[in-house]
């Protein structure tokens, strides 16, 4: 049997979280709409965020200085009253008052709202971030881009190694979160946003597609009309990568139920009643090489083996699960560096 010291050298995937923490970063002009201890649900407004913000200034001219961090409405008197009141053309937040008596504020005419992707409660709030503690389990992901979102989960592919093509996405998926298998390209992501999809969960992504999506989201943010929140969550990394077996089992078990997508940190969030299956101890997954995505159990140590290009690597004998016809497990030698344990 393989030694415990060798098994400990196999890296472990992050385990599902029982009470995930979702962080919403706050910047100048962001106005929190909740307070610590408040209960939240999917869709609850958390933060009012300015769009096209500008930093402007006005002289006090003998009026009382407002406190930094004070939020004000469009055209509402900030200090003073009547014609001598200090007003700004737009809603915003006071940044600071200069020694010369000038009030600097960040203002905007249009604002967007960041909503909660999960049931839970506001755990903390400070000048830098708002933290929400989720009430249900969550699966960690590797990468994320977009904004926190939520919707009913739809398994859009039949197998974790399948790809989701743009032609498979239509208006039936409006408002849903799609599981896209091993990869979705930029055409599929663009069509998903156009059809009103709220998020996509995939095993892998091409770096160029992620950069193109981020640029598209930035252009949409800079436009006058705000779009619904959209998030792309990548479970395993860059390239074409099957959805990890443990994550696939959890997602298929919760198909049709409401889920949330967190960006910071990247998480798939489930409802309080969801039961995310725990991985069996001792199981491993091939995370690199030609057997990528296969799962099984380590049955022994193979020692140093000569691999491609004459490189010698420490290997383990792995009994891989059958993927086609039922039968005995397939025994192969896999480098320890290509394996990962389920968390």
* Complete DSSP assignment for 7-26: HHTS-BPPPPBSS-EEEEE-
Mean pLDDT to the nearest integer, 191-216 = 93
Q: How many CA atoms lie within 13 A of 268 on its CB side?
A: 35
Q: What is the pTM of this model?
A: 0.87
In a domain, 67, yes or no: yes
Q: Tell me, yes or no, whether 266 and 295 share the same domain.
A: no
Name residues whose C-beta falls within 8 Å of residue 241's C-beta, 6 or more positions apart in sequence: 182, 183, 203, 204, 235, 292, 293
Within a domain: residue 113?
Answer: no
Residue 328 pLDDT class (50, 70, 90 cuts): low
CATH of the domain at 333: 2.30.30.30
pLDDT digits (tens, 9 = 90+) for 149-203: 999 999 999 999 999 999 999 999 999 999 999 999 999 999 999 999 999 999 9
Query: Is the same domain home to 190 and 254?
Result: yes
State the maximum Cα–Cα separation within the chain, in Å, rounded to a whole number.
87
Domain that holds residue 95: 53-108
Question: Is residue 47 assigned to a domain?
Answer: no
Q: Please report whether residue 120 resides in a domain.
A: no
Q: 60 in a domain, yes or no?
A: yes
**205 and 234 fall within a common domain:** yes
Query: 146 and 257 share a domain?
Result: yes
Q: What CATH number is attached to the domain comprising 264?
A: 3.50.30.10
Question: Is 141 part of any domain?
Answer: yes
Asked whether residue 255 falls in the same domain as residue 287, the answer is: no
Residue written as token pair 């706050």: 26
Q: Domain check: are 203 and 265 in the same one? A: yes
Q: Are residues 103 and 69 in the same domain?
A: yes
Same domain, 260 and 285: no
Query: Has residue 202 been placed in a domain?
Result: yes
CA atoms within 13 A on the CB side of 304: 3
- Counted domains in the chain: 3
Quote the pLDDT of residue 130.
96
Same domain, 89 and 153: no
The answer as to whether 162 is a domain residue is yes
Give residue-wise pLDDT tens across range 12-63: 888 889 999 999 999 999 999 999 999 999 999 999 999 889 999 999 888 8
262 shares a domain with 198: yes
């Amino acid at each position: 049997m393989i030694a415990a010291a060798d098994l400990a050298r196999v890296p472990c995937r992050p385990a599902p979280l029982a009470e995930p923490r979702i962080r919403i970063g706050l910047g100048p002009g962001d106005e929190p709409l909740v307070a610590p201890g408040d209960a939240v649900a999917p869709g609850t407004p958390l933060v009012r965020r300015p769009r096209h913000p500008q930093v402007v200034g006005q002289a006090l001219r003998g009026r009382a200085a407002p406190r930094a961090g004070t939020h004000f409405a469009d055209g509402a008197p900030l200090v003073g009253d009547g014609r001598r009141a200090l007003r700004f053309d737009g809603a915003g937040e006071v940044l600071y008052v200069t020694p010369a008596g000038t009030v600097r504020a960040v203002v905007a005419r249009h604002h967007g709202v960041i909503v909660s992707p999960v049931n839970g409660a506001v755990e903390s709030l400070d000048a830098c971030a708002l933290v929400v503690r989720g009430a249900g389990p969550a699966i960690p992901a590797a990468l994320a881009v977009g904004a926190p979102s939520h919707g009913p989960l739809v398994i859009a592919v039949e197998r974790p190694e399948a790809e989701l093509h743009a032609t498979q996405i239509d208006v039936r998926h409006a408002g849903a979160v799609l599981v896209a298998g091993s990869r979705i390209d930029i055409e599929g992501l663009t069509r998903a946003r156009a059809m009103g999809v709220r998020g996509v969960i995939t095993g892998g992504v091409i770096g160029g597609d992620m950069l193109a999506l981020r640029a598209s989201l930035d252009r949409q943010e800079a436009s006058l009309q705000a779009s619904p929140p959209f998030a792309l969550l990548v479970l395993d990394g860059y390239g074409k990568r099957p959805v990890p077996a443990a994550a696939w089992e959890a997602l298929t078990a919760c198909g049709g139920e409401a889920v949330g997508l967190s960006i910071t940190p990247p998480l798939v969030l489930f409802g309080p009643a969801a039961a995310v299956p725990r991985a069996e101890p001792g199981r491993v997954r091939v995370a690199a090489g030609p057997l990528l995505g296969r799962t099984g159990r380590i049955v022994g140590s193979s020692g140093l083996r000569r691999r491609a290009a004459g490189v010698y690597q420490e290997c383990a004998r792995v009994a891989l699960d059958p993927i086609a016809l039922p039968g005995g497990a397939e025994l192969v030698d896999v480098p320890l560096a290509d394996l990962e344990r389920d968390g």
